[in-house]
């Protein structure tokens, strides 16, 4: 029986030569970025969304399953000459088209900031070009040479990783995660987490289903390589990010109309953003936050429940995390009147959440009385009323 991975490789090898309409889910890419991209790349578009819309100048971007390179070539223009884009794909024929077109795009935009690497996205440490080279010199002929090749791969992962740990600002992908075999999907998310810098994010467009996919559809290798059978459910996709340690996970885009419907199950494109960086030690610096609403109550990724308008004690790490995207617009931030230096801060128990009395941030003996302050100066002189 053909495995899902072999079926996927064979199908996309063919789709690198002749465009396959069944693999295409129409996407409105920004036309200004398409002008410099050769037609052969655009014609072999097998994406379902546009994660490049969420990139910024200067970022280092990794595109998982880069195909003929379209998203990388768009991203190259968004991040500009100060940024960098790496595309990873496992299919030689896709990489050949991408590599052949990279110098053409570079010449048209006036700089070269894209490179393509051969690897499997669930194993981003293993450089398959290096492994190819070693295996050509020492082909696998028997069990002993197979085991040696396995040792060699382990060595390459450590000594010459395809993508270094904590080296990437944004991992993007367009319609690829669903193609990875079920048993490797947890490792895939762990790999995305590994390569991201602390504070980095994943922006992933993919096909998801609105119901669980039954076994007989999952066992169909053709449907698998067609981005159907391996799709997460809408809820399961978000859960996979959470289980890998991401926070601030949100749906940036969800197509209302399904791309395909099979046996009553709807398959549609979503774009998800998820952040890395909530892990680390917790210190008490007497800081507090107030959730501004509009909901009565929210639950964060560490299961801290906060009611609108109440003042909660948070550790220094959470305090600075909430001051960044995607949270900052939802909170008020209250610094203590007397700052506690990080070196002097005691450990903070992050296992639960508690309210913080205003006196804790002001100081227990704070009892001053003042006149009106911080009010607009009107025509009749100072005053609030």
Ligand X SMILES: C[S@@+](CC[C@H](N)C(=O)[O-])C[C@H]1O[C@@H](n2cnc3c(N)ncnc32)[C@H](O)[C@@H]1O
Contact region for ligand X (CB under 6 A) — 28-36, 87-95, 106-114, 244-252?
87-95
Cβ–Cβ under 8 Å, residues 162 and 120? no
For tokens 């280092």, the residue is 60
Q: Candidates 60-68, 212-220, 230-238, 311-319 — which segment interacts with ligand X by CB under 6 A?
A: 60-68
Size of the site for ligand X (CB under 6 A): 24
Q: Closer CB to ligand X, residue 61 or residue 180?
A: 180
**Does residue 47 interact with ligand X by CB under 6 A?**
yes
Beta bridge partners of 287: 314
Q: Which is nearer to ligand X, 224 or 283 (CB)?
A: 224
Looking up tokens 């006196």 gives 359
The 3 state secondary structure assigned to the chain is: CCCHHHHHHHHHHHHCCCCCHHHCCCCCCCHHHHCCCCHHHHHCCCCCCCHHHHCCCCCEEEEECCCCCHHHHHHHHHHCCCCEEEEEECCHHHHHHHHHHHHHHHHHHCCCCEEEEECECCECCCCHHHHHHHHHHCCCCCHHHHHHHHHHHHHHHHHCCCCCCCCEEEEEEECCHHHCCHHHHHHHHHHHHHHEEEEEEEEEEEEEECCCCCHHHHCCHHHHHCCCCCCEEHHHHHHHHHHCCCEEEEEEEECCCCCEEECCEEEEEEEEEEECCCCCCCEECCEEEEECCCCCEEECCCCCEEECCCEEEECHHHHHHHCCCCCHHHEEEECCCCCCCHHHCEECCCCCCCECCHHHHHCCCCCCCCCCCCCCCECCECCCC
Stretch that binds ligand X, among 40-48, 77-85, 257-265, 338-346 (CB under 6 A): 40-48
Task: Work out how close the CB of 239 gets to ligand X at its nearest, in angstroms, rounded to a whole number.
Answer: 20
The greatest distance separating any two alpha carbons of the chain, rounded to the nearest whole angstrom, comes to: 94
Q: Which of 55, 90, 156, 288 binds ligand X (CB under 6 A)?
A: 90
Nearer to ligand X, 52 or 273 (CB): 52
User: Per rule CB under 6 A, is residue 180 in the interface with ligand X?
Assistant: yes
Mask 149-168, x = binds ligand X (CB under 6 A)?
--------------------
Q: Which of 4, 7, 37, 71 binds ligand X (CB under 6 A)?
A: 71
CB nearer to ligand X: pick between 223 and 313 = 223
| 178 is a site residue for ligand X (CB under 6 A) | no
Quick one: tokens of 265?
């199950």
Cβ proximity to ligand X, 181 vs 301, nearer residue: 181
- Quick one: 120 or 201, whose CB is closer to ligand X? 120
Q: Which of 160, 182, 185 is nearest to 64 (CA)?
A: 185
Minimum distance of ligand X from residue 246's CB (angstroms): 20
Residue 288 binds ligand X, judged by CB under 6 A: no
User: From the list 7, 8, 75, 224, which residue makes contact with ligand X (rule: CB under 6 A)?
Assistant: 8
- Indicate the pairing of strand 331-334 with strand 265-275: unpaired
CB distance 94 to 68 below 8 Å? yes
Question: Applying CB under 6 A, which of residues 179, 195, 207, 213 lies at the interface with ligand X?
Answer: 179
User: Taking contact as CB under 6 A, which single stretch among the options 159-167, 170-178, 190-198, 251-259 is the one that binds ligand X?
Assistant: 170-178
Q: Using the rule CB under 6 A, which residue among 70, 194, 201, 247 binds ligand X?
A: 70
CB of residue 106 to ligand X, shortest distance in Å: 19
Q: Which is nearer to ligand X, 170 or 313 (CB)?
A: 170
Contact letters for ligand X, residues 119-148 (x by CB under 6 A): -xxx--------------------------
Stretch that binds ligand X, among 28-36, 45-53, 335-343, 351-359 (CB under 6 A): 45-53
Check binding of 53 to ligand X (CB under 6 A). Answer: no
**Binding footprint of ligand X on the chain (CB under 6 A):** 8, 12, 23, 45-47, 65-67, 70-71, 89-91, 94, 120-122, 174-176, 179-180, 227
């Amino acid at each position: 029986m053909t495995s899902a991975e072999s079926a996927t490789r064979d199908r996309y090898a063919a789709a690198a030569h002749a465009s396959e309409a069944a693999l295409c889910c129409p996407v409105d890419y920004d036309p200004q970025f398409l002008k410099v991209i050769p037609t052969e790349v655009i014609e072999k578009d097998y994406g379902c969304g546009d994660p490049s819309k969420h990139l910024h100048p200067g970022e280092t971007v990794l595109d998982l399953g880069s195909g003929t390179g379209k998203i990388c070539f768009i991203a190259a223009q968004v991040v500009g000459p100060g940024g960098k884009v790496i595309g990873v794909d496992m299919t030689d024929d896709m990489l050949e088209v991408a590599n052949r077109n990279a110098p053409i795009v570079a010449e048209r935009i006036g700089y070269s900031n894209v490179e393509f690497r051969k690897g499997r996205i669930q194993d981003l440490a293993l450089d398959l070009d290096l492994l190819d080279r070693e295996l050509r010199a020492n082909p696998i002929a028997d069990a002993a040479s197979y085991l040696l090749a396995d040792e060699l791969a382990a060595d390459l992962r450590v000594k010459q990783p395809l993508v270094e740990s904590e080296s990437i600002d944004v991992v993007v992908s367009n319609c690829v995660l669903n193609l990875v075999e079920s048993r490797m999907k947890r490792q895939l998310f762990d790999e995305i987490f590994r390569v991201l810098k602390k504070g980095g994010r994943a922006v992933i467009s993919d096909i998801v289903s609105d119901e669980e996919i039954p076994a007989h559809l999952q066992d169909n290798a053709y449907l698998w390589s067609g981005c159907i059978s391996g799709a997460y459910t809408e809820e399961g996709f978000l859960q996979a990010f959470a289980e890998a340690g991401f926070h601030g996970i949100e749906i940036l885009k969800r197509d209302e109309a399904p791309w395909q419907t099979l046996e009553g199950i709807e398959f549609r494109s979503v774009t998800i953003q998820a952040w890395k960086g909530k892990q680390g030690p917790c210190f008490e610096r007497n800081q507090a936050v107030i959730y501004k609403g509009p909901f009565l109550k929210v639950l964060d990724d560490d299961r801290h429940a906060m009611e609108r308008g109440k003042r909660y004690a948070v550790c220094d790490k959470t305090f600075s995390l909430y001051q960044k995207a995607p949270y900052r617009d939802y909170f008020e931030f209250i610094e203590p009147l007397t700052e506690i230096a990080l070196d002097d801060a005691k450990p903070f128990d992050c296992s639960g959440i508690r309210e913080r009395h205003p006196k804790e941030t002001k100081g227990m003996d704070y009892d001053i009385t003042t006149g009106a302050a911080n009010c607009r100066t009107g025509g009749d002189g100072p005053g609030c009323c």
